[in-house]
A and B are shown apart, each in its own frame.
Chain A
Amino acid sequence: MIMADTEMTALYALKEVGFRYGLEWVLKGINLTIERGEILGIIGPNGSGKTSLLKILARQQRPVEGDVRFESTNLRAISFRRLAQRVGMVPQEHPVVFPYTVLEVVLMGRYPYLKGWAFESAEDYRIARSAMERMGVGRFAGRLFSELSGGEKQRVIIARALAQQPQVLLLDEPATFLDLHHQSQIYSLLGELNRNEKMTVVVVSHDLNMASQICRRLLLLKEGRIAGLGTPWEVLTAKAIEEVYRCRTLIDSHPITGKPRLTMVPD
């Protein structure tokens, strides 16, 4: 899809969004626009509302107050099916209790495209297979999902999200269970999807250094409110980190990428 620059509107627009479980506000007063084609990193300490914000973008949680728009339409007015053709989500946990095979799980990424009673077409199989090859899980196709290791499951779930052929990919701690090799693989994949396929990426991460390297913009959350929003150099300052995370860090420039690099300073 070719679009003139003037037609570029925000992909997501959040206005005064608030969310709570019971009486406790998890998010409050969130104003945020996410542009097409950007990589946005959501960072912040445990319990700062990162996952809740991602779930609101994925429509898994409904905000208690405020307004969420996707492509200028109220998120709730879009059909689940249509949204699933545009937005893929990689959650943190993958509870699968029944014996589904890996290929079955990945093929579920094609469900938003299936009509009525139809079974998956040869094209659906091709797309699912190529997503699996891309994530290096092609050889697991016939194995049971529940028998894979944490890192393998993670890659299968990313393959499922890719099978949705989304324009936006939302990821919640995608590298948590992965070893160093697979971590770097995921992060270069995100960069590649963003560059070559113009995919918008929103990633929640605990790894501030990784977020700094791959994200164009960072959103720093503290106790459910925005504590910083901007380029990595704007957001990752020693002062902000000390305020939000209550620990001292040294920030210098990464010798290769020139992005900010954090080093913990013991008290």
Chain B
Amino acid sequence: MTMLTIGRWLRILSLLTVIWLITILICLLEGTEPISLSDAVGIFWAHLSSETGGAMDVGKSTILLQVRLPRVLLAGLVGGTLAVVGVTLQALLRNPLADPFVIGISSGSALGVVLSLLVGLNVFYWGLSTLPLFGFLGGLITLFSLYRLSQVHGKIFVQTLLLGGVILNAMLSAVIMFIAYMMDADKVMGIVYWLMGNLGSPDMKALAVVAVYALIGMAVLFGLGRGLNLLALGDETAVTLGLDAERTKRIAFFASALLTGAVVSVSGLISFVGIMIPHVLRMLIGSDHRLLLPASVLGGGIFLMAADMIARTLIAPTEIPVGVITALCGGPFFLYLLWRGKMKISNA
């Protein structure tokens, strides 16, 4: 009997945290230029004790601290965010195939970002870029339209929402392609590369920006664990079990749009992390969202860091966009889910 107690909650999350840390370490060491553990420790030690110069290899130090560290941390953050948004949307829509990418929120965010780049609106407030904000707005508008589209007499028709999302996704992508087509040739390549889902090597400031947006969104979602458990049973049941369902849904959708906007603005369209990770975790640790939400942040991070490492090293020195790797893992997984679902129906 695996019931959620505080002990089990701590055990599972500690275990995942340890795996998460080990993944970070491996991803830092592996790459076109492998760095040994002792070198890495030396570099970190030198950095922390601010001993500049010395016998340290400057090249390795730069690769580790300025290229790999921000990139690995970004992959961890983006993967965790996509997974936690996947968990949330799946509970809200009561459909295990929902995901920010599938229902078009990611594309909405991407359009927001592209539009703001087009008109040259990337202002910095207190060193914070506004790109995630435009991503957030784009995602929110998409989500809101979708919500209204599939609402009849105060009830959400989930099938309509999913189908509507797929169609919106296609439309938004077309608009993005049109804008990209109209842009200067030198800008287009950058945008196309970004849209393919790409982590690049952000500077620490860009990383901090995404982190701020993402951590706010995650903190909000973590507070909704019990509410999402109830919403997964249906809005009407949630109400009779003491939940202000409408309010909880609004907050959850809002936080999802914020998180999606933040990660899309920096890493483009990375698909399937939001479907695959929640599904695997549900099989491993159950469906209680109090555990599932934080676990998906760690699990999604582990997955995307590993996928990014593969993207960096598979045909090095050429880099594959990480979105290509996740889609190649996620597509077949998605098909497997559909196939299994079909088997279940035909067996019933």
> CB within 8 Å of B: which residues of A?
21-22, 55, 58-60, 79-85, 87-89, 91, 94-101, 103-105, 107-109, 111-112, 114, 117, 119, 125, 141-142, 160, 164
Q: Which of B234, B240, B288 has a CB less than 8 Å from the CB of A104?
A: B288
* Residues of chain A lying within 8 A (CB to CB) of residue B234: 95
State which of B1, B6, B241 has its C-beta within 8 Å of the C-beta of A141: B1
- Chain B residues lying within 8 Å of A104, measured Cβ to Cβ, are 3-4, 229, 286-288
How far, in Å, is A177 (CB) from chain B's closest CB? 15
Q: How far is the CA of A119 from the CA of B5 in the complex (A)?
A: 7
Please measure, in the bound complex, the distance between the C-alpha atom of A125 and the C-alpha atom of B3, giving whole angstroms.
10
Chain A proximity of B202: nearest CB distance (Å): 33
Docked Cα-Cα span, A252 to B5, in Å, equals: 56
Whether A108 contacts B233 in the complex (CB less than 8 A), given A21-B153, A95-B94, comes out as yes
**B240, A101: Cβ atoms closer than 8 Å:** no
B236-275 interface (Cβ within 8 A of A): 236-237, 239-244
| Cα(A98)–Cα(B283), bound, Å | 10
A119 touches B287 (CB 8 A): no
The CA-CA distance from A59 to B246 in the complex, in Å, is 13
Task: Assess the A60–B236 pair: CB atoms within 8 A.
Answer: yes
Among all A-B residue pairs, the 6 with the closest Cβ atoms? A84-B242, A112-B242, A89-B240, A81-B242, A98-B287, A60-B236
Residues of chain B within 8 A (CB-CB) of A79 are: 244
B232 contacts partner chain A, Cβ-Cβ < 8 Å? yes
A80-B282 in contact (CB<8A): no
Answer whether residue B306 sits at the interface, using C-beta atoms and an 8 A cutoff: no
A193 to chain B, nearest CB (A): 17
B60 at the interface (CB under 8 A from A): no
| B286 and A111 contact, CB distance less than 8 A | no
Known contacts A81-B242, A82-B242; 20 additional CB pairs below 8 A are: A60-B239, A80-B242, A83-B242, A84-B240, A84-B242, A85-B242, A89-B240, A91-B236, A91-B237, A95-B234, A97-B96, A99-B283, A99-B286, A100-B286, A104-B229, A109-B241, A111-B241, A112-B242, A117-B290, A119-B290
B232 pairs with A96, CB closer than 8 A: yes
Q: Is B95 an interface residue (CB 8 A)?
A: yes
Given A97-B96, A99-B282, A119-B9, answer yes or no on A112-B241 (Cβ-Cβ < 8 Å): yes
Cross-interface CB contact of B1 among A87, A142, A164, cutoff 8 Å: A142
Minimum Cβ distance to chain B for residue A108 (Å): 6
B3, A111: Cβ atoms closer than 8 Å: no
* B22 → A minimal CB distance (Å): 28
* 13 CB < 8 A contacts A-B: A21-B153, A80-B242, A80-B243, A80-B244, A84-B242, A91-B240, A96-B232, A100-B229, A103-B3, A105-B233, A108-B229, A108-B233, A112-B241
With A103-B1, A111-B226, A119-B4 known as contacts, the answer to whether A80 contacts B239 (CB < 8 A) is yes
How many residues of B are counted as interface, with CB atoms below 8 angstroms from the partner's CB atoms? 33
Cβ–Cβ < 8 Å partners of B195 in chain A: none
Inter-subunit contact B226/A99 (CB<8 Å)? no
Q: How distant is the Cα of A18 from the Cα of B96 in the complex, in angstroms?
A: 37
Q: Kindly state whether residue B230 has any CB partner on chain A within 8 Å.
A: yes
Give Cα A73–Cα B63 distance, bound, in whole angstroms: 67
Distance between Cα atoms of A226 and B239 in the complex (Å): 27
Q: Nearest chain-B residue to A81 (Cβ)?
A: B242
Given A80-B243, A109-B241, A141-B1, CB of A97 within 8 Å of CB of B236 = no
Bound-state Cα–Cα, A60 to B154, Å: 11
Chain A residues closer than 8 Å to B240, beta-carbon distance: 58-60, 84, 87-89, 91
Interfacial chain B residues near A89, Cβ < 8 Å: 237, 240
Assess the B239–A111 pair: CB atoms within 8 A: no
CA distance A84 to B9 in the complex (A): 27
Chain B residues within 8 Å of A142, by CB: 1-2
Nearest CB in chain B to that of A93: its residue = B234
CA distance A104 to B292 in the complex (A): 14
Please indicate the chain B residues that have their CB under 8 angstroms from the CB of A81 in the complex: 242
Within 8 A of A (CB), among B61-99: 90-91, 94-96
A104-B287, A142-B1 are contacts. A96–B233 as well, Cβ < 8 Å? yes
User: How far, in whole Å, are A160 and B230 apart by their CA atoms in the complex?
Assistant: 12
**CA distance in complex: A97, B153 (Å):** 23
Residues of chain B lying within 8 A (CB to CB) of residue A103: 1, 3
Query: Closest CB-CB distance, B27 to chain A, in whole Å?
Result: 31
Residue of A55, A91, A97, A119 near B6 (CB, 8 A) is A119
